Amino acid sequence: MEIIKECVTALQKVKEQNPLVHNITNYVTVNDCANVILAIGGSPIMADDINDVEDMVSIASCLVINMGTLNERTVASMIKAGKKANKLHKPVVFDPVGVGAGPYRNKTAEKLLKEIEFAVIRGNMSEVKFLSGLAVQTKGVDSVADEAGGIEAAKSLAADMKCVAAVTGKTDIITDGQRVCLIDNGHPILPGITGTGCMATALVGTFCGAVRDYFLAATTGVMSMGLAGELAERTLKGNEGIGTFRMRLFDSIYRLDGETMMKEGRIRIE
């Protein structure tokens, strides 16, 4: 399959270029995000002070904004950093953690979508459905959020926001509004640890820092996470559980290579 070969090339580029990825993220999974970026071949910067973020964006290849434990201080930094990245034509990846769960998160996501041009938005289905409704709502339509079809919600969000939408779930959906790619990698144990969503976003950011095709970057990042989850789960034996799984997940990301991607990647172009 053609797309998988491109994913393999994307992985090679990350290993060669070692992209610097600036993250303004939550304090729950920040360590996991830094370690997953290192494991795949990038270099993380975690900095969120408003006086610091523009300088960090200037040296980074990509900016990742994750609103997991958002607060007024860091939201201001996100906006400043995002605008700077847009100005410098560097990709910005957005993880709208928990959008839909309450007005502060919703307003913040709306603000970020208005102020910053994103390369990729990565969320779960309910987050993307919510944002999709938001996006449409601003154009006077508000029906998409009620639709069952996740693909339609993702396509709508991608088209409205002129970005790539990446929805992770049982089957992951990646779309730029036109092309749609479905990924069947992953394992039900993955949501049993915190941070797998944030880590998928961090991986997407790392690939965006190395390849200019963000549809490909999102696909490779999301598939890498799912694939690593499968490989890690397969090693579990006896009384091993979620703690061992979590450790092996990092092993699997670290060991992930083109051969495994070719053999085990399950990507369909819709």
List interacting residues with a copy of itself (CB under 8 A).
Answer: 26-32, 34-35, 38-39, 44-49, 51-52, 55-56, 58-59, 68-73, 98, 101-105, 192-195, 235, 239-244, 246-255
Q: Which is nearer to a copy of itself, 69 or 171 (CB)?
A: 69
CA-to-CA separations, 259 to 250, 255, 256, 265, in angstroms, rounded: 18, 11, 8, 10
- CA-to-CA distance for 267 and 198, rounded, in angstroms? 21
Minimal distance in Å, beta carbon 105 to a copy of itself?
7
Minimal distance in Å, beta carbon 153 to a copy of itself?
22
Q: How many helices (H) and strands (E) does the chain have?
A: 11, 9
Q: Which is nearer to a copy of itself, 69 or 152 (CB)?
A: 69
Q: Which is nearer to a copy of itself, 102 or 140 (CB)?
A: 102
Minimal distance in Å, beta carbon 2 to a copy of itself?
28
Residue 69, both tokens: 């434990």
Q: Which is nearer to a copy of itself, 49 or 115 (CB)?
A: 49
Minimal distance in Å, beta carbon 35 to a copy of itself?
5
Parallel, antiparallel or unpaired: strands 180-183 and 267-269: antiparallel
Residue 240, both tokens: 């091993």
- CA-to-CA distance for 128 and 167, rounded, in angstroms? 7
Q: Which is nearer to a copy of itself, 53 or 180 (CB)?
A: 53
The angle that helices 30-40 and 242-255 make with each other, rounded to 10 degrees, is: 30
Q: Which is nearer to a copy of itself, 2 or 72 (CB)?
A: 72
Which residues lie across from 268 on neighbouring strands? 182
Q: Is the dihedral of CA 54, 57, 63, 69 positive or negative?
A: negative
Minimal distance in Å, beta carbon 79 to a copy of itself?
15
Minimal distance in Å, beta carbon 211 to a copy of itself?
22
Parallel, antiparallel or unpaired: strands 120-124 and 92-95: parallel
In whole angstroms, how large is the CA radius of gyration of the chain? 17
